[in-house]
Amino acid sequence: MTNAAPPAYEGLAITRESPLGPDLALLMRRHAEAMHADTPPESIHMMDAAALDVPGIAFFVMREGGVPLAMGAFKRLSDPGHAEIKSMHVLHEARGRGLARVLLDYLLAEARAAGIVRLSLETGSQPSFAAARGLYARAGFGECPPFEGYGPDPNSVFMTRATIGRCDGQQPRGP
């Protein structure tokens, strides 16, 4: 997969990297702060940088002029065609530019290229996660029951989609 961004996002690059990169500390810290802001500890399912740095997890960083602005990953599940999106985060000061959708589309394409046919995710049910749920819904994700490694949780919303089309057979909606 190329790391070129769409023409409207010239100057951006998305590359597969180690989550342990020293210049990723701000992204990791902000992600952790956001997850802990209004979610009870027993309902936080984020992975720290060391946990993301293992085989079976593909971790990507979006940079502009070499500066990290966003990150996201997918983790292969026991079904070889199924993976989970992990650690999607765009720095607050970079939001409002459509970068989350660019990164999500990139993750979908990378997963598809890796032979993944279904991507699922867990996100919060709290109002602070409404924008994330909206992003995923606009990208064709639909709510689903808890999947591998999760159980019912009133603080979680589980979503899934096929990497080609939508899991309900319809085509994904545009951005």
**Reported pTM:** 0.86
pLDDT digits (tens, 9 = 90+) for 60-90: 999 999 999 999 999 999 999 999 999 999 9
Query: What is the count of structural domains for the chain?
Result: 1
Closest CA to 60 of 7, 6, 99: 99
Closest CA to 83 of 61, 60, 108: 108
pLDDT digits (tens, 9 = 90+) for 48-60: 889 899 999 999 9
104 occurs within a structural domain:
yes
Angle 29-58-101 from CA coordinates, rounded to 5°: 70
The domain in which residue 131 lies consists of: 7-162
173 occurs within a structural domain:
no
167 occurs within a structural domain:
no
Between CA 111 and CA 119 the distance in angstroms is 8
